[in-house]
Amino acid sequence: MSLLSPIYYVSLITIAFVAVYIIREYKGVKALSEGPPEWGMSELAGRIRKGSQVFIKSIFKVIIPVAIGIAILLSLFVESFGGLAFLAGLVCTSISVIVGMSVGTYTNVRAAATALANIDEEENVATTNTVNTTIKGGKICGLIVHASSVFALIIIMMLTGTETIASGRGIVSTAFVIPVATRITAYSLGWSIVAMFCRVPGGIFTKAADIGADLIGKVVNHFKEDDPKNPAVIADQVGDNVNDIAANEADLGESFTATPVTAIVTAINAYGLIGNRNLLTVTIAFPLIMAVAGLISSLIGLVYASNVKNSKSPKSQLNTSMLIAAGGAVVASFIASLLLFGNASSLPAEFKLGWGSPFVSTVCGIVAGVAIGFIAQHFTDLESKWCIWATEKAKQGSALYASFAQAAGWISCFPEISVVAVLSWVAWLLGGPYGQAVMALGMLCFVAQPISADAFGPISDNAGGIAEGCHLPEKVRIITDKNDATGNETAAVGKGFAIGSCGAVVLSQISTFMHAGGETILDLLNGHVMLGLLLGAGLMGTFCGLLAKYTLDAADEMAAECRKQLNDKDVKAGKKAPDYKACIRIATESGLRKMIAPVAIAVGATVLLGFTFGIKTLGGFMSGLVPVGLVGAVYFSNAGGLADNGKKRFEAALVKGYEPGTEFYNDAHDAATIGDTIGDWMKDVVAVCIDIFMKIVGILGIMLAPIFAQYNLFQFLGL
């Protein structure tokens, strides 16, 4: 297809340019000062870096053999080259994770050093300069994910072609498989598997350390945030890197990768077999162009954000960056739709606006992504009325504070989900299943920006920890805490993008899955479908509960270790260093013990239901995951984010009469801290794993649909 070739080459040239920029920025970050040697900042940062590297290596010792096994099975039983495509996804995710985590562990100390060097400047100038340093590291995290995802997808497309003939069957399978569709879904599955393997142990690691440090360090002993006397403090800082940077990159990266893949597979299933080669070409070209255009617009927005001279607030820098990236994506969508579909012959009947349908559908996704981001900020922002109301509840104790945060999380569900529901419906109305697919793509086509903004938080959090651990002047901590609070809001925005896009893409995947399995209707009144629907809803609840249990078990071990060490009066008084390695070991072992089960649940349930009940029941199962998963993810994310920032209002002396050092501070702050420990596992473990679970099921379902349609127990029994 002649049109695709220039798109491939222009895309690769663009990615090469971005790669050069990433390398230059990486060197630029490392060239920044780590602070005066007498403060010992470099040594503390090195300890955090080493702990992060050890944990990531431990994860990949498990991932690699599991991935090789999955790759062999895909090549033997599904499609001959599907295993290689799966491994390509695994390699791209791994590179992104390792580079991002490395950047985070180099940028944290440089952000603290920048704040230290600017303590005599005006507050806005000092904050802005520190923010710019932090974003310099954060933008590398976002750009490496986006660029590597698109690069490998383009290479797979180039090497495979877009033939719709079943010429790439597996050694065993005789089902009708479309090579390009199977390979790119296997590629997306590679991202999803690594994301789950990083998210579960990374989340358990960081939240076990965080909860243990908060309960014993803050509540029992009233230590400051990141006080070096706290045994879990280094584990907590390591967790910021392995979960909030590395695992988050894998999470949002797999969310993004699934969107162009789903759009392309939808196009192949909908238009590949009707003989209109021109229509198939342009519907494949459009998501590729948008993925590359989003990379460019993200780069522009991030360059702006890291070079502001005198900003009023970190949030304004990051929000403006997001709007620049989104605006660029809108312009690119208009041009691509006009040029590709304006001259296309025989547009499908579901394109109600002709060439404008893909454009409007994509804009629906872009608007949904930005809107969800701002809604999440509305419920979690440090200065929002919800956060202010939460701190009022903390004055009466932890029960009211924690309960209020959960109530706010429930309330936030309808605004966020209604945005996804309405705009997804509009996209479907105007563009059919393809419109729904590119709507999901629109939400994440500029994914480099939200990943970069998300990385801003843990880098700032680590910078504050280094400031506290090295006993830097108080003003340094004020600057880093302000950035950290903004980071909590950007984290909520990033989770909103992942959750919202997940809802849109899974809805599109269900339609594509049914089509790939030879079915056109998913009748909810059908007994087979209803069975799957209820099983999906129930399994999602169990999945969330297991993740919570895993985290709380690890936190229990961590709290016991912290309590034991602080029984030593010398450790408690700061005369003797705690055994930080013991806490890191507990967090690591707890995370690694539990990392297989969630992947086994997602993959096992999909394969078991598909081979037992067939397409209709598995379609119902996928449908049952959506409402329960979306509601749960929004609730857990926003409730946890609000609980965290409510605590920070006390620590930042924003609650009048309850400032640090005043008579009533400890009781109110303790209540908020306990509420935060409840929110920790909600937002940073459960919420972030739900969307990965749903997309593993969706991608695996699409890939195996032709096989499930032909080989299942119910069909064999004639049921």
Average pLDDT over residues 534-543: 96
Kindly report which listed range (143-147, 615-619, 702-706) carries the lowest average pLDDT score: 702-706
Q: Rounded distance, CA 417 to CA 490, Å?
A: 19
Coil/strand/helix, residue 364:
helix
Strand partners, 287: none
Write the pLDDT tens digit of every residue in 310-360. Answer: 777 788 888 899 999 999 999 999 999 999 998 766 788 899 999 999 999
Which structure tokens are listed for 352?
């109600």
- In 3-state terms the chain splits into helix, strand, coil percentages (rounded to 5) of 80, 0, 20
Identify the pLDDT of residue 273: 61
Strand partners, 79: 169
Identify the pLDDT of residue 517: 82
Q: Rounded distance, CA 227 to CA 51, Å?
A: 18
**Does position 498 have pLDDT exceeding 80, yes or no?**
no
Half-sphere exposure for 405 (CA within 13 Å, toward CB): 34
> How many Cβ atoms sit within 10 Å of the Cβ of residue 481?
20
**Which percentage of the chain shows pLDDT scores above 70?**
96
Under a CB-based contact definition with an 8 Å cutoff, are residues 493 and 376 in contact? yes
Residues 6+ apart with CB under 8 A from 23: none
Under a CB-based contact definition with an 8 Å cutoff, are residues 332 and 362 in contact? no
Identify the pLDDT of residue 125: 85
Under a CB-based contact definition with an 8 Å cutoff, are residues 540 and 629 in contact? yes
DSSP state of 226: T
Identify the pLDDT of residue 171: 43
Mean pLDDT in the chain?
Answer: 89
Write the pLDDT tens digit of every residue in 378-428. Answer: 998 888 899 999 999 999 999 999 999 999 999 999 999 999 999 999 999
Please report which helix (H) or strand (E) contains residue 169, including its range.
none
Query: Would you kindly state where each structural domain of the chain is located, as residue ranges?
Result: 4-349+357-381+398-524
Identify the pLDDT of residue 165: 43
**Exposure class string for 578-593: b at 16+ Cβ within 10 A, else e:** bebebbbebbbebbbe
Identify the pLDDT of residue 3: 84
Identify the pLDDT of residue 478: 83
What values do phi and psi take at 79, rounded to 5? Answer: -155, 140
Write the pLDDT tens digit of every residue in 431-477. Answer: 999 999 999 999 999 999 999 988 998 999 899 989 988 999 988 88
Identify the pLDDT of residue 192: 93
- The pTM of the full predicted model, rounded to 2 decimals, is 0.92
Identify the pLDDT of residue 275: 60
Under a CB-based contact definition with an 8 Å cutoff, are residues 108 and 459 in contact? yes
Residue 710, classified by CB atoms within 10 Å of its CB into exposed (0-12), middle (13-18) or buried (19+), is middle
**Does position 166 have pLDDT exceeding 60, yes or no?**
no
Q: Which has the higher per-residue pLDDT, 576 or 383?
A: 576
Write the pLDDT tens digit of every residue in 635-690. Answer: 999 999 899 889 989 988 889 999 988 989 999 999 999 999 999 999 989 998 99
